[in-house]
A and B are shown apart, each in its own frame.
Chain A
Amino acid sequence: MIVGAGIFLMLLPLAAAPVVFHLLMRQKRRERVYSTPMFFHQIDPKMRARKRLQEILLLISRVLLIALGLLALSRLSINTVRDVLGFGERQMVVLVVDNSGSMNTKMADGKNTKLQTAKKSAQQLLSALDDDAKAAVLTLVDDPQLEISSDMKGDKTRLAEAIGSIAPTEATGKPATALQQAVSILMAASSTGAGSVHVFSDLQSTEWGQGGIDRVIDSEHVRIVFHRLPSVPVQANVSLVSAGLSNRRVLPKQPNTVFVELRNDAEDPVQVRLNSQDDQRKQTTNVVTVPGKGRVTAKVTIQPESKGSHWVRIWIEGDGYADDNQAVLAYVCGSTAKFFLVGADVSEFGRLPLALSPFGDGRFTSLVPEVVGSDSVRERTQQAQPALAAMNWTEAARISEGTSGQWLEQYVNAGGNLLILPPSRQAMDAVRLPSWIGAEVSALVDPVEQVRCTVLSESSDFWDNLRLPGGSVRLVGAFCRKYHPVLLPEDARTVPLLGTGRQEVLLGILERGKGRIVCSGMAFSSKWTLLTNMPEFVPMAQSMALASGSPEADDRLSLIAGEAPASLPGSADDIRVVSLVGDPMDWSGRRDRFPQFVRSGGYVMRVGEKTYGLSVQGAVDEGSGEFVAGRSVPLMGEIEHSIVSMEDSDELKQSLVASHTGIELYLPLLLLAMMAMMAEGVLGTPRQFKLTQSATQKGEVAS
């Protein structure tokens, strides 16, 4: 409305003037005597009713003429956009910006991300509010690095700065929580809670596609408006579902494997590049093909050079959506680990000690041998947590039959590596292994000619360090001179590794609990097998020692961005978190105030005296290409809300301009006034009765 136009609205009662004049000055029908009816004959008998109707229509047209003219001059406008945007008289607005991972993708124009557009739109809406309006800003993902006060404020500048500081996350938003908080803010700001909540989001189905929020929002005065940011269809998205270290003990200079699980949501197979980079600037790249609608587990090898905290960042390239392509793995590497040679005579183990620790001090392998008597092995094991306990069958039987007979079983089940092998100097015709092991060995076989050792389970990770680029295991020229065939139970947790080619197993693994038992039918001396003379024996020995039982496995914690940990390790109340890679962080606090991580990264978490590696991975669901379509959001259930589609930020800007100016009614009202004037002219002109041809012939006057 233009300045001064309001005076015409005040003059609107003048529209009743024709009615007043009509009542005051209307022509009263007079009675008159006339000489003859012959000249008035046959005038329409319905004239009285028609005259009355004509008068009423004339009166209406005159009232409309004045009223419409005044309304046109008052420059009225319809503010439908204002209603759509939920702006009330006193503007109380909560702006909720979706900063979840899916908002990091580009808009259709390819210039800005959805989050950038949402922020710009929210700032525009903020600037379009009245001067006395109050607003608050919330995000769908509670980003601890974002300093936004959730109180209602009137300072638009600071609110705009707060919106500008919203950074992308890789977490899944919590819309129900955000909306409930928005309503609570409005309720706290006014007694009725009247106001509007504006949500700027792409309405991803994983967040908004499920109902149930109607139980937590109970204010009828809150108008909820969704500003939907359109999404470009995601094509051929491969998600990095998880990345985790194997159970192999993490030691300096010891290679380890990171298992990376990839998921393909597309129908067709997708080939992606799997990259890794660690804190030692080692980079790897592999090409991985993920079948359509399938999963695949790829491996990335790491090898920390020193003890302490390390990280490796793993990401994939070549798919349609980037924010679920990355994982950061933080881990703690110990200094050295001991392996126990149980028994009085070290020579019983042949070349095993040399293969595990060439110099006996941990150089090259980080493994240090320790000869432990069968009497003290239990105590030492609890103290030193060895990577491997190696003993011959006799020692194993003795320990199992002792007073602490179940200890060895418990050691294995808790994650310990146990190597049992025949005594190298003592030929045993019949050996009976402890029953809890589940394997048996037959009598010694001493063939005339040495027997070729063959790999039985090439796919076992035991052979990973011997695997050629094509996937086959490099073990050529390994022969066995004598052996005890090992009889392994046929179950999924038993893996035969070496055989004779005559359906006889020389070496096998039995998984028990978290640990492994490597059961060898041959001693590791050259009298038994030539394998120990081969360089391949070294990695085999490393695998025996480090395949499982990693105490560091419990020192690693993995989180999905935006999600709180189910439980925190340790018992100390004070926790400190320092970032290795990702968002810079050095947080100290109580256990119950543990921060939320919204972006992928690697952290070191110290709980009491113990250090843990904390890995945060982006939410995989954010890569979903399904978004809420239509005019309602399923999450809202029965709660009234509206959706305004927004192709770009300029579109909202135009709507906001329209919300202030409205739709001008000047021209339509002026046209209507002109139509009323024309009607008045037609009705006000006296209608003449004319003689028709037939009436003329009859000598009568017709209407």
Chain B
Amino acid sequence: MSPKQEHQTTYKFLPNQLAERLRKLGVAVKKQMDGGMTGLHKSPTFGSSVEFAEYRSYVPGDPTGRIDWAVYARTDRYMIRQFHDEVSVNSHVILDVSESMRYQQDGPMTKMDYACFLAAGFMYMMIQQGDTASLMTFDREICERHEPAGSLSGLRPMLRALEEIGPTEPGDIEQSLHDAAEIVPGRALVVIISDLLQEPTEVLRGIGHLLHDGKDVTVFHVLDHGEIHLPMKGVFDIKFLEKAPKMMVDIAQVRDAYLDRVHRYLDQLRAGCTNQGADYFLFDTKTDVRDALLKRSVKQ
């Protein structure tokens, strides 16, 4: 393979070192998923896998091999053992590409880049364990939607798409999640990667919609370290990435109020997600991507 070809096969958001470290990690789901293939995850239908579900009486037509003879010997009744069907999971990564994601203050990268690392890593983990993964981006609405892929070759276009993301529009998270809930079919794993810079009640309404449709929702809340801790000092004329009037701020004066506000905001989001049944993870961009993904993974 020529160096040029090697270069072309290297992904910005899934470098080899990261892929190597994520290879042995897997992702579990809490809910029963709909899947077209036999996989690691429990299906809502009964099958013939090894995981016992319940007993039922034998009815004509049932395979005789599934009669539990030991039970017959004790009870003199023909009982059939039922097992859960194990299916593969369709995961959908919903990535926020609104303007605020371009922000970088105190972290090593922008929130957008960090989110892309997370998305790439998560999709890779899903595909590695035999599930499918797809990518959707949104700002005010769903911008781009990739078909689910179950192989690395299918993942490639999505990795390339991540590299080409350039946030330009302000976002509307609630609306985008409502749209995603309509788009994502059946029971699937939905991973929302966003800075969630919108009123928590609105965000939670969008998440609630997904959960209501039976999705297993995981929220990766990405914020810059500076957004959480406001380490700036001095007086600034602040211009906002998303449309808002300019503001002069003396950081020393507003710090406490700001931090209080941020903590309330984070608490509200965390509690809202937990209460609705979604997994919530807050990452600042200084957190290592693997460590971040590790929190949502299980070792295979």
Contact = CB atoms under 8 A, between A and B. Distances in A.
Interface of A: 27, 29-40, 43, 47-48, 51, 686-691, 696, 699, 701, 703
A63 to B, nearest CB: 22
B60 interface: no
Given A40-B258, A701-B258, A35 B240 contact: yes
Given A35-B224, A690-B257, A699-B199, 4 more contacts: A27-B235, A32-B238, A33-B103, A40-B254
Contacts of B242: 35-37
B253 interface: yes
Given A39-B258, A688-B257, A33 B240 contact: yes
A198 B257 CA distance: 71
A31 B234 CA distance: 11
B236 interface: yes
Contact of B239 (A32, A39, A47): A32
B267 interface: no
B30 interface: no
B235 A29 contact: yes
A36 B100 contact: yes
B262 A34 contact: no
Interface residues of B, number: 38
B31 interface: no
A47 B248 contact: yes
A29 B198 CA distance: 28
B271 interface: no
Given A689-B253, A691-B261, A701-B261, A36 B236 contact: no
A39 B237 contact: no
B239 A686 contact: no
Interface string B184-199: 0000000000010111
A11 B157 CA distance: 75
Contact of A39 (B235, B252, B261): B261
B250 A686 contact: yes
13 contacts: A29-B235, A32-B236, A32-B239, A34-B105, A36-B244, A39-B262, A40-B247, A43-B254, A51-B250, A688-B253, A688-B254, A691-B257, A701-B258
B247 A43 contact: yes
A31 B199 contact: no
B46 interface: no
Interface in B116-135: none
A688 B256 contact: yes
A686 B227 CA distance: 21
A238 to B, nearest CB: 88
Interface of A is mostly: loop
Contacts of B100: 35-36
Contacts of A686: 250, 252-253
B260 interface: yes
A29 B235 CA distance: 5
Contacts of A47: 248, 250, 253
A29 B255 contact: no
B58 interface: no
Contacts of A29: 234-237, 248
B240 A37 contact: yes
Given A32-B232, A32-B236, A51-B235, A38 B252 contact: no
B265 interface: yes
Contacts of B248: 29, 47-48, 51
A654 to B, nearest CB: 55
A36 B197 contact: yes
A33 B241 contact: yes
B195 A689 contact: no
A35 to B, nearest CB: 4
Interface string B26-64: 000000000000000000000000000000000000000
B198 to A, nearest CB: 8
A30 B236 CA distance: 5
Contacts of B111: 35
B298 interface: no
Interface string B262-273: 101100000000
B249 A40 contact: yes
B235 A31 contact: no
Given A688-B253, A688-B256, A34 B237 contact: no
A311 B241 CA distance: 122
Nearest to A41: B261
A686 B242 CA distance: 29
A30 B257 contact: no
